Amino acid sequence: MKFLFDDVAFSFQALRTAGHAAYAGADLGEVLVTCRNIPDGDEQAWYREWTALAERLHRIGDEVLASGHRVSAREALLRASNYYRTADFFRVDNRDADAESDRLARCSRQTFARAAELFDVPALRLEIPYENTTLPGYLFRADGAGDAARRLPTVIHHGGYDSTLEELYFMVAGGALRRGYHVLAFEGPGQQSVRRERGLVFRPDWEHVVGPVVDHALTRPEVDPERLVLWGTSFGGLLAARAAAFEDRLAACVLHNGIYDFYELPLRGIPPYLAEWVAEGRDDVAGPALDVSMVQSTRVRWFLRHGMWVFGAKTPPEALRACAPYNLDGTVEHVTCPTLVLDAENDVICHGEARRVHDALRCPKELMVFTDAEGAGEHCQEGAALRFHQRAFDWLDERLSPA
| Stated length of the chain | 403
Question: Is residue 398 exposed (0-12), middle (13-18) or buried (19+ Cβ within 10 Å)?
Answer: exposed
| E strand or H helix that includes residue 354 | helix 353-360
Cα separation, 385 vs 175, whole angstroms: 8
Q: What gap in Å lies between CA 20 and CA 284, rounded to an integer?
A: 42
Q: Is 67 a catalytic residue?
A: no
CA distance 189 to 187: 7
Full strand arrangement of the beta sheet holding 182-186: 124-130, 133-140, 182-186, 152-158, 223-233, 252-256, 339-344, 365-370
Quick check: helix, strand or coil at residue 217?
helix
- HSE of 150, CA atoms in CB hemisphere, 13 A: 12
State the CB neighbour count (10 A cutoff) for residue 204.
Answer: 17
Distance CA 387, CA 314 (A): 41
Burial 297-315 (b: 16+ CB within 10 A, else e): bbbbbbbbbbbbbbbbbeb
Active-site option among 11, 101, 108, 234: 234
Going 14 to 16 to 21 to 26, the CA torsion angle's sign is negative
Grouping H, G, I as helix, E, B as strand and the rest as coil, residue 337 is: coil
Show Cβ contacts of residue 306 under 8 Å, excluding neighbours closer than 6 positions.
92, 161, 162
Instruction: State the Cα–Cα distance between residues 123 and 114, nearest whole angstrom.
Output: 10
Using DSSP's 3-state secondary structure scheme, residue 222 falls into coil
* Active site (catalytic) residues: 234
